[in-house]
Each structure stands twice: as structure tokens, then as C-alpha cells.
Amino acid sequence: MGKAIKITRRSIHAFFQSYHSFASTAALLVFPVSAATLLSQSLPLSSSPILRTISSRLRLLFEAAGFPASSQFFSLLNFKLSQAILTFISTLPFTLIFLILAKASVIQIIQEFPRRRLAPPPLSSLLHLYPSLLLTFLSNSLVILSANAAIFSILVVAFNIPDILHLSSNNSILVLSAASVILYSIVIANTMVACNLAIVISAMENSGGYLSILKALVLIRGRTATGITLALPASLSMAAVEALFQYRVMRPYHLSRKFSPSVIWEAFLITYIYSLLIVLDTIITCMFLRICKSESGSYWNGYDYQTDGEPEAKGALQA
């Protein structure tokens, strides 16, 4: 816990040291992705034919696999997965262009911290890293899909064993559902930490694909608890901003069927805050990579992260 707090403090310090650069990246590159994400997650099930279609297909898949249709866990999981699939599809064009370039920009700025403060890197340097980051992003998508498939395969076996042994009951379903929540959360959290770290490694070393994911898995070995602890505040903050967008923007729209000027400005502000959280989450991942490499005795771009710039960072944090 102490290590996670230290990394978070350094990340916040780095964020404010180059605030104008990060704010520009959030406004120009991350903002379109944030807007698409918030809007896609605002679609209710009843008003979106695509979301209803995805939800019905997943429900049929769960029923065919032997999952209890009455289980609240699978009802909630069905809705969340449907919403996640719709969000992924609707934001994919923005993600493949803007978000990848934004992450490359943030990582390049952090790569020079704390030796010097930088303006946002030129577009040519971002385009140079783009193929590696794109390949890693596509590999991450396949890894996340594989992790979900592996979890559901395990759950299919777990939920069908009581039926085979004629031990199925409401209590057994409740216990299995609770265990499923824990298992799914742990596996997906570890997968997301490794995938986020792989993106940073890919930008730092300009190498993409599964090699970056393998390096990330090696680096986080024994440090997964720290990685999950670091990811939790950003995830909770993003969820809070998504809820705020629903309450302050979409709720008035559903009531009046129009956007007032004040609601529009509020929507822009909430979306910008969401963009800043994405930037800050990337910074935290970069700092986590530094800690992983320093503890592994590794060197990054020719200098030791255990020593270089350490006095300056510590002095700034103490101040």
C-alpha cells in the first residue's frame, strides 16, 4: 500500500510539473474518445436496438452454457458485457486514432521527466510510435477476449457440476455466483494491468505485439497487488465521472428532450475531466513501470531509474 501511495504521489507531481502539456493532450486527443465513451454508455437498453440485440445474444449464450437465467450475477454481467461491447465498437475508430496518439504523447513526456519539462511532442514522433502501439493495442484486445473466454469456460464447468451431481439449489447458485464475481474481477483486473503496462513498454521500446505483453507479465510478477491498487482509484474516479455525466447531462435530456446551453457546457466540462483522468491513469502506469524496472535491476534509456532524478522528485514530494 505504501508503494502504491508513493507512485501515486510521484504521478500527481509529474502531472502538475507538465500540466499544460498534459492538458493540451487531454483536450486535443483524449477528448473525442471520452465523449464517444460517455455517450455510448448513456444509451439505455430500451432505446438501443444494437444493445438489445447484443444483450439477447449473450443471454441465449449463457442459457445454452447452462448458466442459471435467474441469477442476478449473470443478469448484471449480461448488461455490463453488452454495454462494454457496444462501447468498444462505437469508440473503436476514435481509440485507434486519438487514444493511441494521446498515450504516445503522455509516455514521451513522462520518459523525459524529471530531467526536463517538455511541450507536447511533435506529431512526427507520435506517428513513428503509432505502428508499435497499434499492434500492441490489437494484441491486448485479443488477450482480454481470451481471458474472458477462459473465465467463462471455467464458470461453465463450475455451474454444471452441481446439476450433474444433483446438488443444485439456491444456496449453491448463490455461493457460485459470489465466487464467480471474485474470480472474474481478479482475472480481468490482472489482465488490464498487464495490458496497460504493455502499452507503455511498447512506446518506450518502440516494439509492439505480444512481446510487450510478455515483458509486462514478467515485470509485474509479484507486483500485481500494487498494480491493481494503483488502477483502482482511477477506475473508481472514471466510474464516478460516468455517473455524474448520467445525472447532470443525460437525465435532464431525457426529461426535457433537449440540451440547454448550461447542460452543454457542463457536458464539455465533465468530458474534459474524464479525459484528464485517462491521462493521469497513463502517467501512473508509466511510474509503475519505472518502479518495476528499478526493482528488477533494469535500465531504461541508458540511466538507472533508481537513482536518476530521485533527489529532485523526493524533494518536490516532501515540499
pLDDT in the model for residue 32: 93
- Which pLDDT does position 318 carry in this prediction? 41
Residue by residue, pLDDT tens for the chain (319 residues) are 678 888 889 889 889 888 888 999 999 999 999 999 998 887 765 566 777 888 888 888 777 777 766 667 777 777 888 888 888 888 899 999 999 999 999 998 888 766 655 567 888 888 888 999 999 999 999 999 999 888 888 888 887 777 777 666 667 777 877 888 888 888 888 999 999 999 999 998 888 788 899 999 888 888 888 888 888 888 899 999 999 998 888 888 778 877 788 888 999 999 999 999 999 999 999 999 888 888 776 444 443 434 344 444 444 334 3
Query: What are the boundaries of each domain within the chain?
Result: 2-318
Q: What is the structure's pLDDT at 257?
A: 77
* CA pair distance 109, 129, nearest whole angstrom: 14
pLDDT of residue 277: 94
CB-based contact 47:288 (threshold 8 Å): no
List C-alpha distances in Å: 296 to 11, 95, 218: 20, 32, 10
**Burial tier of 281 (Cβ tally within 10 Å: 0-12, 13-18, 19+):** buried
Q: Are 197 and 216 in contact (CB under 8 A)?
A: yes
pLDDT of res. 114: 64
Give the model's pLDDT for residue 303.
38
In this predicted model, what pLDDT tens digit does every residue of 126-178 receive, in sequence order? 888 899 999 999 999 999 999 988 888 888 888 777 777 766 666 777 787 78
